[in-house]
């Protein structure tokens, strides 16, 4: 009876789609990228317009900030000597960065109102076990918090859980997690999948070159509750916990992206519920959920699909006409996780082409290029206050009105590269640049 009550309450909260002031994981409360309040549509770093504060974060990290109450958490990798460099833009170089020094894998806690760093912890300091892509970092995964604990993942360097005052509670070493191009194993690109907290579980996904797995850990102790082997190419997205409905029963499933094995797994046991083959061969976007549909997209090589999958899918659905509500074979994203809001899906190519679909039918509402097609788009879009925020790698943001018609409201420059997805809390946009974390909001 108690479990049933928990399910009903959780489903009700998810169904309401009400934005939360906290932003506890990658893409926010429901991992849908929609935040609370109404952030500004215009800002200017030089003049200070709508810039509440900016705080320098040393080193490199593509992890997004997460917010709980009056605190913000973010991670970074700081080299023992010199300065780590990024190579942004649209290019096809697959060779990893070689010869880097030892790194300090850091965790930062900031005051949400002032941007002051309240505490800093060094999770580990060592030579990275895996090289990174020139556009990647050694601190890609976004932390997750439940308001009591903070879970941070540094891939091959381990998983670390702290209380919100910075006390280490437990850590876990998964060994070497080698993500890279499956066709050229020497092209190591760094680990990117973020942990997810659901109830008493921490969910981690490790699709790597060897011994891939999906696992659930006890959040209090780090003990493995279950581990399910996976056989796929290396992937770079995060797991998503979404509803599962079958035969009138309601539960939760963990959905992961892939090429050989897109799939849904029972949250309590790790047992596979359904699977799907096909798509792009470097899966990056995280699965998203809204209005009874799980949406999967990826793009690289021959495949560029969007799949809209019903929550009662079962077995191999690769050729299913019932489990897959609709599909768009050439509409998928490469780097960005899409955003679903109010019956519409917003999908942005890495070249800046934005496509908006009606989620009930898959009908495209409009397609519009943002910019001149020369800048890369990696940071995932976020939304709040009736606006969509899309930022390219050069830190140029496009603010659009949400809806089925294209309407550009404003454009803004941050003055730094932007690879991390922003967070939103109480009408403030927290955007991570190459050097600083910025709080963009109307000044109180």
Q: How confident is the model at residue 444 (pLDDT cuts 50, 70, 90)?
A: confident
pTM of the full structure: 0.95
Q: What is the mean pLDDT of residues 209-224?
A: 98
Q: Say yes or no to pLDDT of 166 above 50.
A: yes
Q: How confident is the model at residue 249 (pLDDT cuts 50, 70, 90)?
A: confident
Q: What is the mean pLDDT of residues 57-66?
A: 98
DSSP per position, 205-262: EE--SSS-EEEEEETTT--EEEEEE--SS------EEEEEEETTEEEEEEEE--SS-E
Q: Which among 203, 228, 235, 230 is positioned nearest to 216, based on CA atoms? A: 203
pLDDT the model gives residue 23: 98
Q: Positive or negative, the Cα torsion across 59, 63, 67, 73?
A: negative
Q: What is the mean pLDDT of residues 300-327?
A: 96
Which sequence spans correspond to the domains of the chain?
2-440
pLDDT the model gives residue 248: 77
Q: Say yes or no to pLDDT of 195 above 60.
A: yes
Give the number of other Cβ atoms within 10 Å of residue 329's Cβ: 12
What lies within 8 Å, CB to CB, of 69 at 6+ separation is 22, 112, 147
pLDDT tens digits for 388-437? 999 999 999 999 999 999 999 999 999 999 999 999 999 999 999 999 99
Least confident interval from 18-27, 114-123, 154-163, 210-219: 18-27
In this structure, the strands spanning 272-276 and 315-316 are parallel
> How far apart are the two ends of the chain, measured CA to CA in Å?
46
Q: Which among 192, 197, 194, 276 is positioned nearest to 22, based on CA atoms? A: 197
pLDDT the model gives residue 9: 40
Give the number of other Cβ atoms within 10 Å of residue 411's Cβ: 13
Q: What is the mean pLDDT of residues 339-367?
A: 98
pLDDT the model gives residue 19: 61
Q: Are 216 and 229 in contact (CB under 8 A)?
A: no
Q: Say yes or no to pLDDT of 192 above 50.
A: yes
pLDDT the model gives residue 34: 97
Cα separation, 190 vs 181, in Å, equals 10
pLDDT the model gives residue 13: 44
Q: Say yes or no to pLDDT of 247 above 90.
A: no
Q: Which among 336, 287, 335 is positioned nearest to 307, based on CA atoms? A: 287
pLDDT the model gives residue 12: 43
Query: In the CATH scheme, what is the code of domain 2-440?
Result: 2.130.10.10
Q: Say yes or no to pLDDT of 50 above 80.
A: yes
pLDDT tens digits for 3-29? 343 444 444 444 444 567 899 999 999
pLDDT the model gives residue 53: 98
């Amino acid at each position: 009876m108690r479990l049933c009550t928990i399910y009903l309450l959780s489903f009700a909260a998810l169904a309401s789609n009400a934005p939360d002031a906290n932003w506890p994981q990658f893409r926010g409360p429901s991992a849908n990228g929609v935040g609370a309040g109404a952030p500004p549509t215009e800002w200017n770093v030089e003049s200070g317009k709508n810039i509440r504060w900016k705080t320098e974060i040393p080193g490199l990290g593509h992890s997004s900030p997460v917010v709980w109450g009056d605190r913000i958490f973010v991670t970074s990798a700081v080299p023992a000597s010199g300065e780590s460099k990024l190579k942004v833009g649209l290019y096809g170089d697959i060779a990893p960065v070689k010869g880097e020094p030892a790194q300090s894998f850091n965790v930062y806690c900031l005051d949400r109102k002032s941007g002051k760093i309240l505490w800093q912890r060094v999770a580990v300091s060592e030579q990275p076990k895996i090289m990174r892509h020139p556009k990647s970092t050694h601190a890609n995964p976004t932390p997750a918090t439940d308001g009591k604990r903070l879970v941070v993942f540094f891939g091959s360097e381990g998983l670390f859980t702290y209380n919100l005052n910075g006390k280490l509670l437990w850590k876990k070493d998964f060994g070497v997690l080698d993500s890279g191009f499956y066709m050229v194993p020497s092209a190591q690109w760094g680990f990117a999948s973020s942990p997810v907290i659901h109830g008493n579980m921490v969910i981690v996904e490790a699709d790597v070159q060897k011994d891939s797995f999906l696992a659930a850990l006890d959040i209090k102790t780090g003990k493995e509750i279950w581990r399910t082997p996976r056989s796929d190419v290396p992937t770079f997205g995060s797991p998503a916990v979404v509803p599962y409905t079958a035969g009138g029963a309601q539960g939760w499933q963990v959905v992961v992206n892939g090429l050989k094995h897109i799939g849904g797994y029972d949250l309590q046991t790790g047992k596979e519920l359904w699977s799907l083959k096909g798509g792009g061969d470097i899966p990056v976007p995280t699965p998203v959920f809204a209005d009874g549909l799980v949406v999967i997209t990826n793009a690289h090589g021959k495949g560029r699909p969007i799949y809209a999958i019903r929550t009662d899918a079962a077995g191999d659905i690769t050729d299913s006409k019932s489990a897959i509500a609709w599909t768009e074979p050439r509409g998928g994203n490469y780097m960005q996780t899409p955003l679903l809001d109010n019956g519409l899906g917003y999908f942005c190519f890495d070249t800046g082409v934005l496509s908006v679909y009606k989620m009930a039918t898959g009908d495209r509402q409009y397609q519009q290029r943002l910019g001149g097609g020369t800048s890369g788009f990696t940071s995932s879009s976020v939304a709040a206050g009736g606006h969509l925020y899309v930022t390219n790698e050069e830190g140029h943001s496009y603010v659009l009105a949400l809806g089925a018609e294209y309407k550009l409201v404003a454009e803004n420059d941050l003055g730094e590269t932007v690879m991390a997805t922003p967070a939103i809390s109480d009408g403030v946009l927290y955007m991570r640049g190459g050097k600083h974390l910025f709080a963009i909001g109307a000044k109180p």
